Amino acid sequence: MDKRHAYLFCKFVKTELKKIDLDKYYEGMRIKDDPGQKFILDWINRNAKNWREEWESSCCQHCKHWFICGQEVRQDCKDYEFDNREEEESGE
């Protein structure tokens, strides 16, 4: 895996973990308790495939603001700015 693909994969994983944490937080607020590790495993089994597909088709994966709002996997975004670090990692 080249540096650019490794960078993109790291962005994906960090954003997915943030999405899981947010969903776990909201579920905890709903049930007024910590949903625990089981929630994370259930989330992965139920949502990971679809979430990855949404991420891959979103503008977030190439945006420099990915860590702020990337878990929203937007198709269009008024704040989109290309992440120049991708080019740096590709050696161009």
Give CA–CA dist 60/66, Å, rounded: 5
Q: Kindly report the CA angle at 52 between 92 and 66, in degrees rounded to 5?
A: 50
- Tell me the CA end-to-end span of the chain in Å, nearest whole number: 16
Q: Kindly report the CA angle at 2 between 10 and 77, in degrees rounded to 5?
A: 45
Give CA–CA dist 77/26, Å, rounded: 24
Q: What is the model's pLDDT at position 92?
A: 58
Q: Which residues of the chain have pLDDT under 70?
A: 92
